Chain A
Amino acid sequence: MPRTLFDKLWNEHVVQELDDGWVLLHIDRHLLHDLSGPPALEEVAARGLQLHDSSLAFATVDHAVASQPGRDGTTYVPGGKLWTALKSRTRAANVRMFDVGQPGQGIVHVMGPELGIVLPGLTVICGDSHTCTNGGLGALAFGVGSSESTHALATQTLRQRKPRCMRIRCDKQLNDGVTAKDLALHIIGRLGTAAGVGLAIEYAGSAVEALDIESRLTLCNLTIELGARCGLIAPDEKTIDWLRDRKFAPKGTAFEAAAKHWRTLRTDEDAAFDREEVIDATSVPPTVTWGTSPEHAISIDGTTPDPMEVEGSGRETLRAALDYMGLAPNAPIAGTPIDWVFIGSCANSRLSDLRVAAEVVKGRRVAPGVRAWVVPGSEAVKRAAEAEGLRALFERAGFEWREPGCSMCVAANGDQVPPGQRAVSTSNRNFVGRQGPGARTHLASPAVAAASAIAGHITDRRSLG
């Protein structure tokens, strides 16, 4: 019977069939960060248990660590407690940890692929919903809560029931200046933030195959914003080349043996999906959000909605979102004045993202009254960007260059957009209060964020001349 990529990855990890379609699923990689790592490690210890396979777990510090230049693990005082706990717990449990200032430290979904910890075909979990990012390499990766994290640390398995599977096929090619972030926001805007509940999603089609690996990570990153725990893209030669020589990737003949297997990881022709959606990539515009859910996504040339055109509870939802955002109905989104720009997060903080933003910024200045930050996704991204002159370019333009971590995406480290202020952010969530109490977030690509920083209002580079 023809099988989907997801079927193949799932079946390869079934340790034991349980009742009613549940299985014990083997977990090949377990990533830990400062917020969700310590409670899970503490719970394992409190139960008098040990890690089942400590060599399969890796830790880094990203959520509650300060991003300000010259920081250490305790600069943000509440986060210092978590940093200390992660250090002592990982040491006690013999788990490798990548600490502040060390190569390898970074946002967990940036450093995992970058170091080759994540590989095609592996099951990967982390106590973080954006673990789906890793599906861009063809890994079966999904976020879990503390209890499931504890379960996996103690048993190297999870009790799971197989989700149904949806394919999103993106035909033709994205237009120039349109990125994986625009594609992701466009899909969420079209299908809605609950479209993927109970599903795993495979992204396929010519526009997806054409994406470079970092763009694939961006596309898969926003899968959870569709309601799906897991997003996937079949590995190909680009994936294999990208992984070769990474620190924890296999080497030499072991790599070739692995690559041979990875080449089999694709959906069979005629395999059936529970749901299929088709996107014409040429129809995807530069896309931004106007409201408080990622599904509030519109073309940068679009207008805010009119609640009066919607019936039922949806009307109140739209009205509340416009009110929170301080926007009028039926208003063009382009030209909306902004206070902040944040370029960073597990969606868009990789070297290619910074290059795209830098190309827009080059030779220009951040508009007066706008604060603009670049927060590289990892220590490695930071060093590479500095080496090729991106830091200097951003700083000359008036951007602030910060230290790697989640920073203002989740505002867990004190980096907040002040109440009532408006930010264009390359992150993935525009929830009420996400970037700080009362903060107003517009999600966008690095290109749109950079252009908006220069213009002082929401725009894309076409308007910069």
Chain B
Amino acid sequence: MTPFTTVVGAAVPLLMDNVDTDVVIRIERLTALSKHELGPYAFEVLRHDADGRVNAHSPFDQAQFKQAPILLTGPNFGCGSSREGAVWALQGLGIRCVIAPSFGDIFYSNCFQNGVLPLRLPYDVVKRLAAQTSDGQEMTVDLTACTVTAPNGDALSFEVEAPRRRALLLGLDDIGMTLQQDGVIRAWQNNDRMRRPWVWSI
């Protein structure tokens, strides 16, 4: 996993509530394409109208937000389906950090599994950042210092749970860490076989 330390760049604003993962990436793209091919289809229902023409109001196709590594969005971003393809599609667009007041729980976990930082900040702060970056001005997200720096130099601190922060900073892999505990897991299972035999006689 690519470590996440500091990201500097433009921030694309999608100031909508409850953006679900079906909107981030359509299901038929997941059946047809591999994880590295999803970027061009991220947010396609917002980026194109029903006839397939590019929607001029979509922020993703405006010149100042092309390749923006940061997404600014509304509450409950990533609700709905558990599809990890939503994170892969964001990565395909070049996004490394999503800033929102809150996130769908499964999407939130999926981000950390892929080196994407989901950052919770109050909606008025998100909107203020969007106003300051509306012409493509760069902002900074620094996970080492746990600060977001707006284009005008204002710095805000944020919190990320310590184990998740550590894993992101170092690009650590959960599976490798857990496998080191395999003796503990197997001892627990042997005990559980006596305690709850019906779980195991299957």
Contact = CB atoms under 8 A, between A and B. Distances in A.
Interface of A: 15-16, 18-20, 22, 24, 26, 28, 35-36, 39, 47, 49, 52-53, 55-56, 63-64, 78-79, 82, 117, 119, 121-122, 127-129, 142-148, 150-151, 154-157, 159, 161, 163, 193-194, 197-198, 224-225, 227-229, 248, 250, 254-255, 257-258, 261, 293, 295, 313-314, 316-317, 410-412, 419-420, 429, 431-434, 437-438
B23 A432 contact: yes
Contact of A19 (B15, B162, B178): B162
A56 B17 CA distance: 38
A412 B32 CA distance: 10
Nearest to A44: B175
Contacts of A194: 18, 75-76, 79, 102
Contacts of B75: 194
A412 B28 contact: yes
Contacts of B102: 194, 197
Interface stretch (B59-67, B136-144, B188-196): B188-196
> Which 7 pairs of residues, A with B, have the shortest CB-CB distance?
A147-B113, A145-B84, A145-B110, A250-B198, A194-B76, A258-B198, A143-B82
B198 A419 contact: no
B26 interface: yes
Contacts of A142: 106
Given A143-B106, A193-B18, A293-B18, A24 B162 contact: no
A194 B78 CA distance: 11
13 contacts: A24-B178, A26-B192, A35-B27, A145-B82, A145-B113, A151-B174, A161-B161, A197-B103, A250-B201, A410-B27, A412-B28, A437-B26, A438-B50
Contact of A317 (B16, B50, B161, B196): B16
Given A56-B202, A154-B175, 11 more contacts: A16-B188, A28-B199, A36-B83, A49-B175, A78-B31, A145-B109, A157-B185, A193-B79, A198-B105, A261-B196, A317-B18
Contact of B32 (A39, A78, A313): A78
B28 A145 contact: no
Contact of B20 (A147, A150, A431): A431
A16 B182 CA distance: 11
A197 B31 contact: no
B50 to A, nearest CB: 5
A26 B22 CA distance: 30
A137 to B, nearest CB: 14
A293 B80 CA distance: 10
A24 to B, nearest CB: 6
A16 B180 CA distance: 12
Interface string B12-41: 000111101011001110111001000000
B199 A157 contact: no
A317 B81 CA distance: 20
B185 A15 contact: yes
Contacts of B192: 26
A127 B86 CA distance: 13
Given A154-B175, A432-B22, A437-B45, A20 B163 contact: yes
Nearest to B48: A437
B178 A157 contact: yes
A129 B81 contact: yes
A261 B198 CA distance: 11
Contact of A412 (B31, B82, B84, B185): B31
Nearest to A163: B105
A143 to B, nearest CB: 4
A166 to B, nearest CB: 13
A147 B198 contact: no
B145 interface: no
Given A19-B163, A293-B18, A317-B17, A156 B23 contact: no
- Report which residue of A79, A154, A261 has the largest number of chain B beta carbons within 10 angstroms of its beta carbon: A154
A254 B104 contact: no
A147 B32 contact: no
Given A261-B196, A432-B23, A159 B178 contact: yes
A229 B80 CA distance: 10
B80 A15 contact: no
A203 B35 CA distance: 37
Contact of A35 (B30, B161, B179): B30
B1 to A, nearest CB: 9
A314 B75 CA distance: 11
Contacts of A410: 27, 81
A437 B27 contact: no
B80 A437 contact: no
B153 interface: no
Nearest to A58: B202
A28 B192 CA distance: 11
B181 A24 contact: yes
A151 B1 CA distance: 14
B106 A229 contact: yes
Contacts of A128: 81-82
Contact of B22 (A16, A145, A433): A433
Nearest to A247: B202
A465 B167 CA distance: 63
A262 to B, nearest CB: 10
A79 B31 contact: yes
Interface in B76-94: 76, 79-84, 87
Given A24-B178, A151-B178, A127 B82 contact: yes
A326 to B, nearest CB: 12
Given A129-B80, A145-B82, A194-B102, A35 B50 contact: no
A155 B185 contact: yes
Contacts of A55: 202
- Report which residue of B106, B188, B201 has the largest number of chain A beta carbons within 10 angstroms of its beta carbon: B106
A255 B197 CA distance: 10
A457 B32 CA distance: 35
Contacts of A420: 50
Contacts of B161: 20, 22, 161
B23 A433 contact: yes
Contacts of B105: 163, 197-198, 227-229
